[in-house]
Amino acid sequence: MKESSIGSFLKNRDEIFAVSFWDTVIEENWALIQEFPLKELIDQLERTLILSVLSKFEGNQRKTAKFLRLKPTTLHEKMKRHNICQKNKEIQMKKVGLVGGIGPESSIEYYRLIIKRFQERLNTKNYPEIIINSIDMTEMLAYVFRNQLDSLVDFLAHKIKILEKAGVEYGAIASNTPHLVFDRLMEKVNIPLISIVEETCKIIAYKKMKKVGLIGTKSTMINGFYNRIASANAIEIVIPNPGEQDFIHTKYMTELVVNRISPETKLQMIQIVRELKRKESIEGLILGGTELPLVLSQSDFEDIEVLDTTKIHVESIVTKMIENDPAIKPIQ
């Protein structure tokens, strides 16, 4: 549940019985709700409510039990079952390192979303430890477009080693395109990296989709690194025709990367995706460029599920960050 929904509950407990209250909760959290079985959702709701009321009463369990109309022993049992530990209030988190700046706008979104999801999932006002190495996108893309993959691996490995020296425990590259050399890069660094491609394909497989479209930079569309991971899960990846690829790539690099949003570009991209739907019967669309959510979203399509790789990646980054925290059982 979002904090706004919890806040409404805490201000007026009677609203919990109103259908309109739950309509709002479901609407605000629809993307998350459909991912989990009913029992898990109910458990997560109960855990979130207990944590919110505990926070309201600064950890006072007697007041929390009274507010929730529970016996203190019942509250204690529920806290134990939900692995809520009041004795150790220090949040245990892993320090993440991000290779950012590719591009700058999406790096800002990564930073904002990691903080937001960290605070939502731990029901805390604390902030996560994030170290961002903002790199030269122009140099990196030059290696990509000239197919100088050895130089690309060396360049990225050097940037990640800077993060290693800063003490991060794991890392992520805040961009789709560099995942072209992800496997080779993993052999050169000493920390685990979370792949945006692997995490996106996990979600597609979980949703039981068999055919999805992919748009992004031309390198992302044509080099097959999404296809290799997807095929292992019996997922087919389809891309626009060469002319449409050129259009998407050009607009991506000249407009989206610099946060220039053109209504004409948006309409043309929507048309390209609809044509892909008509010809290939795709079930979903991978936004395989972390700037693409600036121009396309689920509201643009009624019959295609949009897969925002930035949000998927962020969720996995936060899951790794909090996996050892004793106070709260993170969403798996």
pLDDT at 255: 94
Parallel, antiparallel or unpaired: strands 211-216 and 284-288: parallel
230 with 180, same domain: the answer is no
164 with 245, same domain: the answer is no
36 with 130, same domain: the answer is no
Q: What is the sign of the dihedral through the CA atoms of 244, 247, 253 and 258?
A: negative
pLDDT at 275: 97
Q: Is residue 104 part of a domain?
A: yes
260 with 289, same domain: the answer is yes
From CA 82, how far away is CA 103, in angstroms rounded?
Answer: 40
190 with 102, same domain: the answer is yes
Q: What does each of the 332 residues of the chain score in pLDDT, given as a tens digit?
A: 444 444 545 555 555 555 565 666 666 666 656 666 777 778 878 888 888 888 778 778 888 888 888 888 888 888 878 877 654 445 678 999 999 999 898 999 999 999 999 999 888 888 999 999 999 999 999 999 999 999 999 999 999 999 999 999 999 999 999 999 999 999 999 999 999 999 999 999 999 999 999 999 999 999 999 999 999 999 999 999 999 999 999 999 999 999 898 999 999 999 999 999 999 999 999 999 999 999 999 999 999 999 999 999 999 999 999 886 544 443 43
206 with 190, same domain: the answer is no
Q: Is residue 329 part of a domain?
A: no
Q: Which of 58, 81, 104 is the last residue of a domain?
A: 81
Q: Quick one: angle between helices 3-11 and 38-56, nearest 10?
A: 60
301 with 317, same domain: the answer is no
Burial of 90 (0-12, 13-18, 19+ CB in 10 A): exposed
Q: Is residue 66 part of a domain?
A: yes
Q: Is residue 243 part of a domain?
A: yes
262 with 240, same domain: the answer is yes
> Which CATH number does the domain housing residue 61 bear?
1.10.10
Q: Quick one: DSSP state of residue 90?
A: S
Q: Is residue 90 part of a domain?
A: no
Q: Cis link prior to 284 (omega < 30° from 0)?
A: no
pLDDT at 331: 42
Residue listed under structure tokens 């059982």: 329
Return the number of other C-beta atoms located less than 10 Å from residue 278's C-beta: 9
Q: Is residue 226 part of a domain?
A: yes
180 with 206, same domain: the answer is no
Quote the pTM value: 0.72
202 with 304, same domain: the answer is yes
Q: Is residue 213 part of a domain?
A: yes
From CA 322, how far away is CA 67, in angstroms rounded?
Answer: 29
From CA 71, how far away is CA 114, in angstroms rounded?
Answer: 36
pLDDT at 4: 46
From CA 44, how far away is CA 66, in angstroms rounded?
Answer: 21
Contact 57, 67 (CB under 8 A): yes
> Which CATH number does the domain housing residue 255 bear?
3.40.50.1860
Q: Which domain holds residue 229?
A: 198-308
Q: Which of 81, 111, 140 is the last residue of a domain?
A: 81
179 with 253, same domain: the answer is no
Q: Is residue 185 part of a domain?
A: yes
How many independent structural domains does the chain possess?
3
285 with 136, same domain: the answer is no
